[in-house]
Structure 1
Amino acid sequence: MKYLKDCPEPGMGTWYFEIDSDGVAYRQIVIQDDGTYIASNRKHEQYHFLLAEKSIDDTEPYYTKITKEEFEEVWSNYLQAFNKEWHQVKTVLPVGTKVEGYIEAFFPQGTLIHIFQHDAVGLADARLYGEKTPSEWMYPKHEITAIVKGYDELNQWVILDQTQVLKTQYVD
């Protein structure tokens, strides 16, 4: 993985990226000028799940290469604010728990799922359920059922297994 930083223009904060060798972003975080964060692992009211949708060319002059340690320090500082909530999610959603929710977004790591119980974010592997799901159901808002398999501590996501996408769509 490669790690980059960018300060696009005054008032836009500082942007941090974790990208693979093809420039695909896996994690992204913005420290806004007021000190607040927007990160790819958690839904933001205005920016949804903020993650670059196209490959990032790390040779562009506006990107500064940074160390993994610098990125991880920023990411860790951000996650600390949610540690109590994350512990609660793991308590109420132990491994083996059946959950319901809906598809939120498709990321390089897998499908992000809004889990109804405790407003948590789940991660499902589309390779495991995609073949048995009609393609027209593979869109945001389609409801799912799944079983908690484990936890992604790096992103504070609940890892899901036995995911089934339903024909019904969630309506807020």
Structure 2
Amino acid sequence: MKYLKDIQEQGMGTWYFEIDIDGVAYRQMVYHDDGTCITSNRKHDSYHFMLAEHPLNAQESYYKEINQAEFEKLWYEQLQLGLEDWRRTKTLFPVGTRVEGYIEAFFPQGTLINLMETPAIGITNTSALKIATPVEWMYPSYRVTAEVSGYDEVNHWVLLKHAEVIGSQLEEAGHM
């Protein structure tokens, strides 16, 4: 992985990325001038799940390569702000629990599932989900059932296995 920093124009904040050798972003942070921060692992009220949609070219002049330690320090600081919520999430969703949620987004790491317990987010293997799911159901808001298999401590996501899209959208179920 490579770690990049991009200081945007005035008022746009400082952007940080973790990318693979193909430039695909796996984690992203935006530190705004007012001290607020948006991270790719948490849903934001205005920006949803903010993660670069296209591969980044690390050779572009506006990117400065930084070391992993600098990125991880900033990421860790943001995780600490949500630590109480994360502890609560792990208590609510012990390993082996059957859960229901809905598709939020597709990330390189997998499919993000909103577990309908603020701010709990699960993640499941997208390839495995696609195998058993009609293509027209592989969209945000489609309901999913799964089993908790563990926890992603880097992103504070609940790991899910045996995920199934159950064929109705959230608003059809009366939850939106």
TM-score (norm 1): 0.98
1:17-55 CA distance string (max 9 Å, x none): 000000000000011111111010000000000000001
The RMSD of aligned alpha carbons is 0.8
**Aligned partners of 2:111 and 2:126 also within 8 Å:** yes
DSSP 3-state at the match of 1:10: coil
Superposition map of 1:28-67 within 5 A: 28-67=28-67
Tell me the equivalent position of 1:27: 27
What 5-or-longer segments of structure 2 have no aligned partner? none
Identity of aligned residues (%): 55
- Distance 1:130-1:70 versus aligned 2 partners, 3 A rule: same
Q: CA deviation at 1:62?
A: 0.4
1:133-159 CA distance string (max 9 Å, x none): 100000000000000000000000000
Tell me the equivalent position of 1:93: 93
Q: CA deviation at 1:8?
A: 1.3
Letter in 2 for 1:125: N
Tell me the equivalent position of 1:103: 103
Aligned length: 172
- Distance 1:6-1:165 versus aligned 2 partners, 3 A rule: same
What 5-or-longer segments of structure 1 have no aligned partner? none
Superposition map of 1:74-153 within 5 A: 74-153=74-153
Query: After alignment, is 127-136 or 8-17 more displaced?
Result: 127-136
TM-score (norm 2): 0.96
**Aligned partners of 1:99 and 1:117 also within 8 Å:** no
Q: CA deviation at 1:117?
A: 3.5
- Moved beyond 6 Å, runs of 4+: none
Letter in 2 for 1:14: T
DSSP 3-state at the match of 2:103: strand
